[in-house]
């Protein structure tokens, strides 16, 4: 049997051009700078504060007498939590001398926003349809989706936290509605505090 | 961050690095060899680049960012430290040891020189 002839590597082939190597090096420097900037965006301290806000909200929601006050409490907690997260990210990036909305900052914001927008829209729909028992699961699931996608531009604990949020949300959708506050406390409270401490200690605040 | 980098890359570098003057459009490996070998290595270039846009970064941050092993990152960081391109601060956060790196003035100017060099190579070969 005759084996097919192997092509002999062309020794006259020119080496990689200096120009290409230089371009590649500059791209590597730019990519590294952009990727490293994402470290400054997610604040562990902010996460802990959001967790504490959630615990207070979960306690208050448990005392609420009716769906309207219950929804109001959680929406107020969500607004306060989002404000806390934004301010803490701004303070952390300012302390590092890095603009909050640089390349990775925009990517983070754009990837987090769609699931949060869907969450806001579904909240209105579910309230109008009288399906508020679906809210805890939906909120956890969509917030988790946003954190997973946005977290791809951040340190490793962030997308992991998002995945756990999604897991809790999915579970909440298939369990008795009465457990809703407990799932909210475990997710928005517990996960935020645990991962907030991890980010705070390992990733600069 | 992007602004800083943009400033670095858009810097008017019409004045070529001395090493590249007189190339006359023929970039050869001789010029490449004149690069700062210390920074040219990928992991070390990554460390210096990341520190250039952050006040300081922890060992864990750098390890996650560069996808390097503990030993690899440690060895490269040590070389940069020995050359006084970076400083290393060891402390305890509670009971957890914490190692933080930051860029020195020398490290920053060497990175700028390296960027100048890369830009000069691109410009010279493009004009050739």
Domain residue extents for chain B = 36-127
CA distance B32 to A19: 11
Q: Given CB atoms, is A39 within the 8 Å cutoff of chain B?
A: yes
DSSP letter, residue B99: E
**A95: nearest CA partner in chain B:** B55
**B100: nearest CA partner in chain A:** A204
Sheet holding B86-93, edge to edge: B57-58, B96-103, B86-93
Contact A28, B65 (CB under 8 A): no
Topology, domain B36-127: Arc Repressor Mutant, subunit A (1.10.10)
DSSP letter, residue B24: T
Cβ pair B118:A98 closer than 8 A: no
The pLDDT value recorded for residue B64 is: 82
Would you say the pTM of this structure is higher than 0.80? no
CB within 8 A of A65, min separation 6: which ones?
none
- Domains of chain A by residue range: 39-202
Q: Given CB atoms, is A102 within the 8 Å cutoff of chain B?
A: yes
**A153: nearest CA partner in chain B:** B65
Q: Which of B46, B53, B89 would you mutate first to test chain A, the one with the most A CBs within 10 A?
A: B53
The pLDDT value recorded for residue A118 is: 94
Smallest CA–CA distance, residue A35 to chain B, in Å, is: 7
DSSP letter, residue A187: I
Token pair listed for A203: 């990733």
Which portions of chain B are predicted below pLDDT 70?
A: 1-35, 128
pLDDT tens, N- to C-terminus, chain A (205 residues): 444 555 555 555 555 677 788 889 898 988 888 777 655 567 888 899 999 999 999 999 999 888 899 999 999 999 999 999 889 888 887 776 666 666 667 777 888 889 999 999 999 999 999 999 999 999 999 999 999 988 877 777 888 999 999 999 999 999 999 999 999 999 999 999 999 998 888 776 7
Cβ pair B31:A202 closer than 8 A: no
């Amino acid at each position: 049997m005759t084996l097919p002839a192997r092509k002999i590597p062309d020794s006259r082939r020119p080496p990689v051009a200096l120009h290409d190597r230089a371009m590649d090096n500059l791209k590597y420097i730019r990519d590294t700078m952009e990727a490293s900037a994402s470290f400054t965006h997610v604040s562990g301290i902010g996460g802990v504060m959001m967790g504490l806000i959630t615990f207070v909200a979960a306690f208050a929601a448990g005392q609420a007498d009716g769906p309207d006050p219950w929804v109001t409490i959680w929406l107020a907690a969500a607004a306060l939590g989002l404000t806390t997260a934004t301010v803490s990210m701004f303070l952390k990036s300012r302390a590092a001398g890095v603009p909050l909305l640089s390349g990775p900052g925009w990517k983070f914001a754009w990837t987090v926003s769609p699931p949060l927008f869907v969450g806001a829209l579904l909240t209105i729909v579910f309230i109008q349809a009288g399906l508020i028992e679906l809210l805890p699961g939906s909120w956890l699931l969509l917030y988790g989706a946003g954190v997973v996608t946005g977290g791809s531009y951040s340190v490793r604990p962030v997308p992991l936290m998002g995945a756990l949020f999604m897991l809790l949300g999915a579970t909440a959708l298939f369990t008795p509605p009465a457990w809703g506050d407990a799932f909210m406390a475990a997710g928005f409270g517990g996960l935020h505090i645990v991962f907030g401490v991890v980010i705070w200690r390992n990733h600069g605040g | 961050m992007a602004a800083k980098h943009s400033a670095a890359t858009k810097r008017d570098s019409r004045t070529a690095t001395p090493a590249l003057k007189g190339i006359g459009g023929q970039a050869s490996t001789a010029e490449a060899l004149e690069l700062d070998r210390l920074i040219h290595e990928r992991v070390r270039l990554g460390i210096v680049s990341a520190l250039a846009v952050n006040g300081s970064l922890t060992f864990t941050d750098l390890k996650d960012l560069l996808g390097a092993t503990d030993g690899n990152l440690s060895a490269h960081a040590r070389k940069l430290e020995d050359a006084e391109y970076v400083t290393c601060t060891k402390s305890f956060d509670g009971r957890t040891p914490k190692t933080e790196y930051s860029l020195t003035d020398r490290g920053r100017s060497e990175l700028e020189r390296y960027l100048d060099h890369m830009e000069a190579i691109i410009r010279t070969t493009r004009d050739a």
